[in-house]
Structure 1
Amino acid sequence: DAVGRVANQMPDTADPPRIVKADANSDAVMRLAVTSDTMSIQDMTVVVQDQIEDELAAVPGVADVQVYGDRDKIFRIDVDQNKLASLGFTVADLRAV
């Protein structure tokens, strides 16, 4: 199908396409955007997923809450392999955590 062909051409980091049947005349639809001059996208994602999403879902009459554009937190760790080895650990041990 057309969506499958497009999905195969999207970058691996892109959210998968979603098809949603919506009738603007039958159901109210509300879209909210969350922005910040001080928070990263990852930090805003945590706030939305941990606080806002559940609050909206708990409102009487809300049938569904979907979060789009969310990003996972990514950590970069610079490893001092000599120090790690002196403590009896390997990089593989860190990856397992």
Structure 2
Amino acid sequence: MPDRNPKALRAAIAQHAPQLLRDFDAHWKRYVADAYDVSTVPAFMARWWGEYAIARDPELDAHVTDLEHRAAYECTEAAEAQALLEEASNIRHLAARTEPGR
């Protein structure tokens, strides 16, 4: 993981998960750059830190995507869908806590 700042995170995304770059830049422009409000930066970083932590690992990214897809399109029981979404959520929360350098 890069240093925990927007510039370093953007560079890491550009290099290791370029599929996220367009959305990252659009989100930055809409909610941070054009807002002129630095109070939005922590929430922005929290979201994209976790997104990048998952996207940089193709197997983990595919697993989370599969869990969410199965919950949305394949489950016939609410409890089963909930369990799949909870697993995906747990992975996202763990990814968001990944420290720089890991």
- Using the size of structure 1 for normalisation, the TM-score is 0.24
Q: Which has the larger radius of gyration?
A: 1
- Which protein has the bigger helix share? 2
Query: Of the two structures, which has the highest relative contact order with CA contacts closer than 8 Å and spacing of 6 or more?
Result: 2
- Using the size of structure 2 for normalisation, the TM-score is 0.23
